[in-house]
Amino acid sequence: MHPAPSVILFTSLSGLGFGLLIWLGLGLPAVSGWVAFAFFAIAYALAVGGLLASTFHLGHPERALKAFTQWRSSWLSREGLCAVIALCLMALYGAGLVFAGERWTVLGWIGAAFSLGTVFTTSMIYSQLKTVPRWNMPITPVLFLSFALGGGALLAGQVAIAKTLLIVTGVVQIAYWLAGDKALAGSGSSMTTATGLTHGTVRAFEPPHTGTNYLLNEFAYVVGRRHSLKLRVIGLVLLSVLPVILLLLPFSHILALVAVVSHIAGVLIVRWLFFAEAEHVVGLYYGVR
Partner 1 sequence: MVCIMTTLPRTTGKKLGLVIDLDTCVGCHACVIACKGWNTENYGAPLSDQDAYGAEPTGTFLNRVHSYEVTPAEGPAQLVHFPKSCLHCEDAPCVTVCPTGASYKRTEDGIVLVNESDCIGCGLCAWACPYGARELDAAAGVMKKCTLCVDRIYNTNLPEEDREPACVRTCPAGARHFGDLSDPDSAVSRLVADRDGADLMPEMGTKPVNKYLPPRPKDTLEAETDILAPFLAPIAEEPRGFFSWLDKTLEKI
**Distance, CA of 59 to CA of 56 (rounded, Å):** 8
Q: Whose Cβ is closer to partner 1: residue 109's or residue 286's?
A: 286
Q: Does 6 bind partner 1 (CB under 8 A)?
A: no
Which residue from 138, 201, 223, 253 is in contact with partner 1, where contact means CB under 8 A? 201
Least distance to partner 1 from the beta carbon of 180, Å? 17
Helix 139-155 / helix 105-127 crossing angle, nearest 10 deg: 140
**Measured between alpha carbons, how far is residue 167 from residues 24, 137, 154, 160 in Å?**
21, 21, 12, 11
Residues in contact with 62: Cβ distance below 8 Å, sequence separation at least 6, in sequence order: none
Question: Which of helix, strand or coil describes residue 91?
Answer: helix
Query: For residue 37, what is the enclosing H or E element?
Result: helix 33-55
**Distance, CA of 107 to CA of 114 (rounded, Å):** 11
Least distance to partner 1 from the beta carbon of 289, Å? 14
Q: Does 288 bind partner 1 (CB under 8 A)?
A: no
Q: Does 193 bind partner 1 (CB under 8 A)?
A: yes
Query: Following DSSP, what letter does each residue of 58-80 receive, concatenated?
Result: -S-GGGGGGGGS-TTT-HHHHHH
Least distance to partner 1 from the beta carbon of 54, Å? 9
Least distance to partner 1 from the beta carbon of 68, Å? 8
Least distance to partner 1 from the beta carbon of 211, Å? 5
Please answer whether residues 117 and 82 qualify as being in contact, where contact means their C-beta atoms are separated by less than 8 angstroms: yes
Q: Does 58 bind partner 1 (CB under 8 A)?
A: yes
Q: Does 276 bind partner 1 (CB under 8 A)?
A: no
**Distance, CA of 260 to CA of 150 (rounded, Å):** 11
| Part of the chain binding partner 1 (CB under 8 A), chosen from 32-40, 166-174, 234-242, 275-283 | 275-283
Please answer whether residues 162 and 154 qualify as being in contact, where contact means their C-beta atoms are separated by less than 8 angstroms: yes
Q: Whose Cβ is closer to partner 1: residue 72's or residue 226's?
A: 72
**Distance, CA of 17 to CA of 264 (rounded, Å):** 11
Which residue from 3, 44, 107, 131 is in contact with partner 1, where contact means CB under 8 A? 131
Q: Whose Cβ is closer to partner 1: residue 138's or residue 208's?
A: 208
**Residues 202-231 interacting with partner 1 (rule: CB under 8 A):** 202-209, 211-215, 218-219
Binding stretches for partner 1 (CB under 8 A): 1, 57-61, 63-64, 66-70, 72-77, 80, 125, 128-132, 187-189, 191, 193-209, 211-215, 218-219, 280-282, 285-286
